[in-house]
Amino acid sequence: MRENGGARRRRAWAAAVAGLLALLVPLTGPSAGAEPMPTVEEVHARVQRLYREAEAATDAYNDAEAKAGKQREKAERLDRAAGAASRRLAGLKDEAGALARAQYRGGGVPVEAQLLLSDDPEEFVGDLRLARKGQHAQRRLITEVTGTQRRLARYARAAAGTYERLERTRAARAEAKKEITERLAAAKELERKLRAEERARLRRLERERAREAQARWLDSGILDGTGAAATPAGEKAVAYAADQLGKDYVWGAEGPDTFDCSGLTMRAWEAAGVRIPRTSQAQLAGLPRVGVRGMRPGDLIIYHSDASHVGIYVGDGTIVHAPRPGRQVTVAGAGSMPIKAVVRPDA
């Protein structure tokens, strides 16, 4: 049976209304206009990632700043050396000017004529030899100092250029650190908004993840047959680190009351009489590596693919480290984080 025009229009109108309602439903649902609240697990993952990124940025910033300080000292040394050479050259030029003026006062009489007119030719010849030796030495010194000054000027320009580049790098690192800090602040705010029971669960989740990672690491047999004793210096470094347990983590801190991760390891080995680089990345690059199976108390374990964290091995599969902001220097499983390398300050 054929539909009349009115029926067809009513059916078309009903379909259009249904389509419009379908479009409106997502806008009126629970997610309209706002992101869903992340789970505790998602908060944990985000905070951990942001802290590692911030730690890596701080490490790189500190490393750039240390390099800039060394370059500044080098540039200052070159400036002082160039100044001394310039003053020496000015003195030599004054001496040459004095000789020229003496010759002018003598009327510019040629040496041969002075010889013929001299009352004592032998004395004159002796004086002439001395004068010529002095002139030759003066010319040699002027040439030498001028060349030295030119070289020093080149070194100074090179040092200044390098320093400027390092300053730009440090500024870029500082900006990166600022951005990371802002993101961390957002993550902390997100963590703060969790209910008290959720924050407690977050702490438990951190501990559980660390325990699980440590258990897997130990179950792999990685420490079977190990147990090398610490050196006397290693014992001192471990003792220092242990004495800092409970102190707060603070970005860039080197003690004595607060530490970041590499500030703690640096000071621990400084207490043992060994100077090591400041940052975890520089410690990785500048210290000899050893295998995990061959490590001994006092060795440093570098963590994560970007070498953004470090702890000091204290034996029995454990480390002392400064974890992150909001936490304190503590003992943790050496395998509770991804190990990148082990380095030995007193190799």
pLDDT tens column, 149-207: 787 677 777 777 777 877 777 777 777 778 777 777 877 777 777 777 777 887 888 88
Mean pLDDT of 249-275: 94
Domain boundary among 190, 214, 249: 190
Sequence letter at residue 196: A
Answer yes or no: is 183 within a domain. yes
Residues 50 and 186 placed together within one structural domain of the fold: yes
Answer yes or no: is 252 within a domain. yes
Residues 157 and 73 placed together within one structural domain of the fold: yes
Residues facing residue 333 across a β-bridge: 318
Nearest alpha carbon to residue 313 among 269, 273, 277: 269
Residues 49 and 182 placed together within one structural domain of the fold: yes
Sequence letter at residue 321: H
Mean pLDDT of 86-106: 65
Domain boundary among 190, 220, 251: 190
Task: Say how far apart CA 31 and CA 24 lie, in whole Å.
Answer: 13
Answer yes or no: is 311 within a domain. yes
Sequence letter at residue 272: A
Residues 306 and 172 placed together within one structural domain of the fold: no
Residues 108 and 174 placed together within one structural domain of the fold: yes
As for how many domains the chain has, the answer is 2
Task: Say how far apart CA 123 and CA 140 lie, in whole Å.
Answer: 26
Q: Do residues 152 and 85 make contact, with C-beta atoms less than 8 angstroms apart?
A: yes
Other CB atoms within 10 A of residue 157 CB = 12
Identify the pLDDT of residue 135.
61
Would the pTM count as exceeding 0.85?
Answer: no
Domain boundary among 190, 219, 254: 190
Residues 257 and 165 placed together within one structural domain of the fold: no
Residues 264 and 126 placed together within one structural domain of the fold: no
pLDDT 10s digits, 16-68:
434 433 433 443 344 445 556 667 777 777 777 777 777 777 776 777 777 77
Identify the pLDDT of residue 96.
60
Task: Say how far apart CA 241 and CA 168 lie, in whole Å.
Answer: 35
In the chain, beta strands by DSSP E: 289-290, 300-303, 309-315, 318-321, 330-333, 339-343
Answer yes or no: is 13 within a domain. no
What is the token pair recorded at 316?
Answer: 């029995």
Identify the pLDDT of residue 159.
72
* Active-site residue, selected from the candidate residues 44, 136, 304, 309: 309
The residue with tokens 């953004």 is 308
In 93-245, beta strands by DSSP E: none
The boundaries of the domain holding residue 306 are: 228-343
Report in angstroms the alpha-carbon separations of 6 from 9, 11, 15, 228. 5, 9, 14, 94
Answer yes or no: is 289 within a domain. yes
Is 309 a residue of the active site?
yes
* Active-site residue, selected from the candidate residues 44, 136, 261, 304: 261
Residues 248 and 186 placed together within one structural domain of the fold: no
Residues 47 and 177 placed together within one structural domain of the fold: yes
Backbone φ/ψ region at 53: left (φ over 0), alpha (ψ -120 to 50), beta: alpha
Answer yes or no: is 27 within a domain. no
